[in-house]
Structure 1
Amino acid sequence: MGENNMFQGEMDPELAALLGTAVPSSAGSTASPDYSSLFGGDPGTVSPPGAFDDPGDADAGEGGEENEVELSGTFPDVTKKLEDTPNPAFSDPNYYKIALSNEGDIAQRLHGILQKFLNAKDPKDRGVFRQQIITVYWDFLLGVAKKAAGKLSDPKKFLLRFGILHPSFLGPEEKDLFSRFVVANEYSEPIYYLDEWLRAVGNGTIRASSTDEVNVSRGNASVKMKQLLDKAMGKRDGAKGLLKAKDEERMNLEQNLQEKIGQIIEHYPMDELPEIHSLFSDIQKKVFSEVQEILKQMYKADRELNIFLQEYTQAVEDVETLNDKVEAEGANSAVDSQAVDTEFGTIRQMAKMTIGRQGNQFPILTKEYFHCMPQDVASRENILTQLKWVESIDPQAFCRSYKNKLNRIVPHIILIPGYGDSGMCWEPFDRHNRATSRGRIAIPMYSKSLPLALLTAVGDLRWQNAKEKASFYWMEEGLTGNYYQWFAAKKFKGDLKEFFINDYVLWMTKESEGTQKLDKEVRGIFWRYMPFTQEVKEKLKGRSFTYQELYQRDLNRAKSDL
């Protein structure tokens, strides 16, 4: 079925122009759509093998694989944001037909309501049909989501990924933009389009997100075993991180020892007796005591290294044992459509929260509602660029402390195809693995400002991590404690976390540039508990006395710690 006869019946000229569809000459026709040709047969009909296969969508190279958490590192530079050649799927006249095919009665309902919505002239009727589309579309999308663990055709993939039900809903420029977004995850960073995320959950690569309403682990031995495995893997990764840190500490001590020994054994011939080398100087004699202290520290470091090595070895054995049990019980293959159902329900909640009550809940991408600049669309490459910018200002944005060691753990980032303006943190970390597990943040793809959408999510993540770290004392200690006490002293009303997130946005966008927008006390709290990079601090200290004073406090604290 071509684009020019996608819908039958009378259509409003403006809507026809939006779709790029000519108004049918038989304006009074009310013939019903031919579902048998539209959906490729009865609702239960299965397409022939390979009918809609996408050869480029078969492997894990597209993202969705759970890589081992790297506890250090930086975000890569993005070298390519768009493909040179548009994806041919967006020019396929059968895109809409393929997207809806083999989805049963719900696809027919969506098509029927969408047709009524586009043909409605009365604004009230159109509003009713618009609301019906929202409900039916999400029910329809669930059926598509269940297939995400397998191989999807391009139209179904882009339906999940971007919310594109029909390319003609977009203008030529928007259509060209989306057709040239890079499909594969070429950077191996934990940034997921919705189809990739659902595939990873469906395949068991990533566990389903935690919810208050559903506890899938109760009475499910295989899932409980998988949770134990996740916890053991976290312990293993944490032990490996400590092992690396302690080994580096010992190597630094050894290098320091070599330098001190070099100072001690440095002699010059005596003036009176050139064949005799000089005595130890007073400075060299002082180095003897320093060498003794270094030797003590080396002995202690080596002893701790041995303990960490034993803990790591045991953790590796535990992971291997649990992994064998998981495979024996079939836990890896036990993740079925129920996990995807649960996760899809969670994704829908994420979408609602990123859009907000007053936002545009319409789930289909159309030219009417899409007003983003290309750089503000939350594509994977644009997100990577923004993440690198965030860390250039807030170097500890994605860091979490484990046994007094700060580890960089980038959260899973789920790109939600919706018109929201605020990102959010769903989980700061996996409750079964607090040591090294990734958190989860959701970013709406079509916001007015991508930097602001990302910053609200990072601010949310920062607040929740700090709160969990302080535990029962979150109103007394650390970042959250100091901020709460300031908030209470000011007698402010409203959501505490929302205030914090708004202040974090100002901290990153205004204060980092030297524009003072925060309360003096809040600025001091953020400067200490969410410090800028040294480069930013150096820049700010010359801007005003305010930042110079904060910089001096850092120096005073450093001296007191010696």
Structure 2
Amino acid sequence: MNNNMFQGDIDPDLAALLGVSTSQAGPSESNTTPNYKDLFGTEDIETPNGIEVDLTQNTFPEITKPFATIPLTVFSDPDYYKKALSGEGDIAQRVHTILQKFLTTKDPKDRGVYRQQLTTAYWDFLLGIARKTPGKIPDNKKFLLRYGILHPGLLTPEDKELFSKIIVDNELNQPIYYLDEWFKAIGTGVIKNSTTDEVRVAKNNEATRLKQLLEKAEGRRDAARNLLKAKSDERASYEKALVNAVQIIAQHSPIPGFPDLQSVYNEVQKRAFSEIQELLKNMAKADRELDSLLKEFSQAQADVQILEDKVREAGADVAVDIKAIDTEFDSVRQMVKLTIGRQGNHFPILVKEYFHCGPNEIATRENVIKQLAWIESIDPEAFCRVYKNKLNRIVPYVILVPSYGEFGICWEPFDRFNRATSRGRIAIPLYPKNLNLAILSAVGDLRWQNAKEKASYYWMEEGITGNYYQWFTSKKLKGDVKEYFIQDYILWMTKESEGIQKLDKEVRGIFWRYIPFSQSIKDKLRGRSYVYQELYQRDINRSLSDGY
């Protein structure tokens, strides 16, 4: 840590604020824990968009407006800090007291002690704000939770201007969440808690047991619904193709010399006959599968309804689940730690000494979408999972955590109760050293965990994890095999996709087979080097064999 980070001139607004007594700066209205039952009346609860999985969506939206045209004024509010702390009880007063000592002390050792105390107190303070997210909270508290901005005076004028132009709402309807949005979705039950190791349920806790059964039933229902929609869309596409084929057949030109007679079928029209026969077969098959899926969905929906009634009877159905937010808060803290790493900067407050991101380097929702779209252009199956022999594109939930992290991480590859169509969860640090590498590490982690879960007990033998693990052990490498894989995935995406050979020959072959580039990139690489030409030929050979 730079012990002199706060030496020198302090922002005048902050200096004036720190000159007042702690009783003035702390909450003056109440020093007690909020009554959440009173706080969350039903009319105050804002239910966020759950952003359901759409199996027919195959691309990310194009970013045409990376920043807002009208900047926010909240960061210029001289009372931002007071409003952010107000109403948060004794913990807010403690945060203010420690912050004052931390900023004014000259002793490096004391500053280190206060830094640690401030970190601990700040996280406790954040929990109180997280619990309020299902209701309406002031912008000061929202952006404190979202960006880690405790006081705008700790930032430069340029930094404040940058944050004032970040688009606040999820206008593109993508499953990418800032922290305040994430806790709101968790607290209102729109999104389930992230998985933890503590999954055991006390035998006498009937309400909790029923809620877990309900989650499983909802997982089956959601999977059936998504597959139902996908199959309906598939049948509609066949029907559209059939109409087009019939229109082609029905088009005739007059026979030369006989204007009242129409010409015979040409070669294109004759081919349409066989295409129509195939389309009719596909339509009949899709319709049978649709009928079967409809029955599955109806049964799953009935099961959910029965369990919902039982949950309400057991008293486990509440408008806002504070316990769920508390549990998720612990998970998010772990996510933050993992994005930073052991040797990174764990200071949780945004300050100008540590913030060095430009407009394109901060992990805003729009910047993240750009990077995810770039990844998908190279690795088309990055967000795909196979279910019932069908490859489904399922973009994971992306949680943007306010940390000076270096790595993106995958928390879970999918919901354990719905492996078919549920979203995974990855966390991205808002202030990374390199945004591209942070997101690539998260997607590499997601790819590894998806493949490992799919292979189950045979993950060291089958698929990409099995092949990579066998190469790893054959080279007698030490360390975490997943970490090696992620680093190789980054090289695969950034170097090998450009024809720059950086990977071991065997690893390149594994990735070419199991993490295939888009066809356009394969075609480009084919002419670059004999190495890629040989891999390209292997694709052709496999496609002609029964075992492909």
Shorter-chain TM-score: which interval? 0.7 to 0.9
Tell me how far apart the structure 1 counterparts of residues 172 and 495 of structure 2 sit (CA, whole Å): 30
In the alignment, which residue of structure 1 is the partner of 2:23? 35
Measured after TM superposition, the shift of residue 83 of structure 1 is: 1.7
Q: After superposition, what is the alpha-carbon deviation per residue over 1:185-234, rounded to whole angstroms, capped at 9, x for unaligned?
A: 10111111111111111112111111114657865444444444443343
In the alignment, which residue of structure 2 is the partner of 1:356? 341
Tell me how far apart the structure 2 counterparts of residues 106 and 422 of structure 1 sit (CA, whole Å): 31
Cα 1:257–1:482 change in 2 (3 A) is farther
3-state SS in 2 of match to 1:375: coil
Aligned mate of 1:475, from 437, 450, 460: 460
Tell me how far apart the structure 1 counterparts of residues 433 and 312 of structure 2 sit (CA, whole Å): 46
Q: After superposition, what is the alpha-carbon deviation per residue over 1:241-275, rounded to whole angstroms, capped at 9, x for unaligned?
A: 44455556667777589969999xx9x99xxxxx9
Measured after TM superposition, the shift of residue 296 of structure 1 is: 6.6
Q: After superposition, what is the alpha-carbon deviation per residue over 1:12-56, rounded to whole angstroms, capped at 9, x for unaligned?
A: 9964624345878xxxxx987141464234523989xxxxxxxxx
Cα 1:450–1:332 change in 2 (3 A) is farther
Q: After superposition, what is the alpha-carbon deviation per residue over 1:264-311, rounded to whole angstroms, capped at 9, x for unaligned?
A: xx9x99xxxxx9x999x9xx8x99999988877665555444333332
Contact 2:492–2:503 (CA<8 Å) still a contact in 1? yes
Cα 1:99–1:253 change in 2 (3 A) is closer
Point out the more displaced range, 132-141 or 210-219. Answer: 210-219
Unaligned runs of 5+ in 1: 1-11, 25-29, 48-56, 270-274
Within 5 Å, which residues of 2 pair with 1:367-382? 367-382=352-367
TM-score, scaled relative to structure 2: 0.86
- Does residue 67 of the first structure (1) align with residue 51 of the second (2)? yes
Cα 1:42–1:306 change in 2 (3 A) is closer
- Does residue 452 of the first structure (1) align with residue 437 of the second (2)? yes
Contact 1:376–1:447 (CA<8 Å) still a contact in 2? yes
Tell me how far apart the structure 2 counterparts of residues 85 and 165 of structure 1 sit (CA, whole Å): 23
In the alignment, which residue of structure 2 is the partner of 1:191? 176
Tell me how far apart the structure 2 counterparts of residues 45 and 290 of structure 1 sit (CA, whole Å): 69
3-state SS in 2 of match to 1:343: helix
Within 5 Å, which residues of 2 pair with 1:131-146? 131-146=116-131
- Does residue 125 of the first structure (1) align with residue 117 of the second (2)? no
Tell me how far apart the structure 2 counterparts of residues 115 and 359 of structure 1 sit (CA, whole Å): 24
Q: After superposition, what is the alpha-carbon deviation per residue over 1:435-471, rounded to whole angstroms, capped at 9, x for unaligned?
A: 1111111111111111111111111111011001111
3-state SS in 2 of match to 1:72: coil
Percent identity reads 60
Within 5 Å, which residues of 2 pair with 1:485-504? 485-504=470-489
Within 5 Å, which residues of 2 pair with 1:491-530? 491-530=476-515
Q: After superposition, what is the alpha-carbon deviation per residue over 1:95-137, rounded to whole angstroms, capped at 9, x for unaligned?
A: 0101111212111111111111111112111111111111111
Contact 2:187–2:321 (CA<8 Å) still a contact in 1? yes
Tell me how far apart the structure 2 counterparts of residues 184 and 107 of structure 1 sit (CA, whole Å): 27
Tell me how far apart the structure 2 counterparts of residues 300 and 404 of structure 1 sit (CA, whole Å): 15
Count of matched residue pairs: 531
Within 5 Å, which residues of 2 pair with 1:279-428? 300=285, 302-326=287-311, 331-333=316-318, 335-428=320-413
3-state SS in 2 of match to 1:400: strand
- Does residue 17 of the first structure (1) align with residue 9 of the second (2)? yes
Within 5 Å, which residues of 2 pair with 1:94-105? 94-105=79-90
Tell me how far apart the structure 2 counterparts of residues 177 and 233 of structure 1 sit (CA, whole Å): 41
Cα 1:214–1:291 change in 2 (3 A) is closer
In the alignment, which residue of structure 2 is the partner of 1:9? none
Cα 1:124–1:470 change in 2 (3 A) is same
Contact 2:201–2:209 (CA<8 Å) still a contact in 1? no
- Does residue 429 of the first structure (1) align with residue 414 of the second (2)? yes
- Does residue 82 of the first structure (1) align with residue 67 of the second (2)? yes
Cα 1:221–1:540 change in 2 (3 A) is farther
3-state SS in 1 of match to 2:374: helix
Cα 1:125–1:513 change in 2 (3 A) is same
Q: In the alignment, residue 519 of structure 2 is paired with which amino acid?
A: Q
Q: After superposition, what is the alpha-carbon deviation per residue over 1:461-508, rounded to whole angstroms, capped at 9, x for unaligned?
A: 110110011111111111111111111111111001000111111111
Aligned mate of 1:209, from 185, 190, 194: 194
Q: After superposition, what is the alpha-carbon deviation per residue over 1:523-546, rounded to whole angstroms, capped at 9, x for unaligned?
A: 111111111111221221121111
- Does residue 238 of the first structure (1) align with residue 226 of the second (2)? no
Q: In the alignment, residue 19 of structure 1 is paired with which amino acid?
A: D
Tell me how far apart the structure 1 counterparts of residues 247 and 136 of structure 2 sit (CA, whole Å): 64
Measured after TM superposition, the shift of residue 154 of structure 1 is: 1.0
Measured after TM superposition, the shift of residue 238 of structure 1 is: 3.1
Q: In the alignment, residue 522 of structure 1 is paired with which amino acid?
A: V
Point out the more displaced range, 327-336 or 450-459. Answer: 327-336
Cα 1:288–1:487 change in 2 (3 A) is same
Q: In the alignment, residue 347 of structure 2 is paired with which amino acid?
A: F
Contact 2:31–2:90 (CA<8 Å) still a contact in 1? yes
Contact 1:204–1:333 (CA<8 Å) still a contact in 2? no
Point out the more displaced range, 359-368 or 507-516. Answer: 507-516
Q: In the alignment, residue 51 of structure 2 is paired with which amino acid?
A: N
TM-score, scaled relative to structure 1: 0.84
Tell me how far apart the structure 2 counterparts of residues 312 and 23 of structure 1 sit (CA, whole Å): 62
In the alignment, which residue of structure 2 is the partner of 1:163? 148
In the alignment, which residue of structure 2 is the partner of 1:115? 100
In the alignment, which residue of structure 1 is the partner of 2:258? none
Cα 1:170–1:251 change in 2 (3 A) is closer
Contact 1:409–1:438 (CA<8 Å) still a contact in 2? yes
Point out the more displaced range, 496-505 or 534-543. Answer: 534-543
Point out the more displaced range, 300-309 or 399-408. Answer: 300-309
Cα 1:451–1:297 change in 2 (3 A) is closer
Within 5 Å, which residues of 2 pair with 1:210-229? 210-213=195-198, 215=200, 219-229=204-214
Measured after TM superposition, the shift of residue 313 of structure 1 is: 3.3
Cα 1:368–1:308 change in 2 (3 A) is same
Contact 1:16–1:22 (CA<8 Å) still a contact in 2? no
3-state SS in 2 of match to 1:17: coil
Q: In the alignment, residue 33 of structure 1 is paired with which amino acid?
A: S
Aligned mate of 1:44, from 23, 26, 32: 32
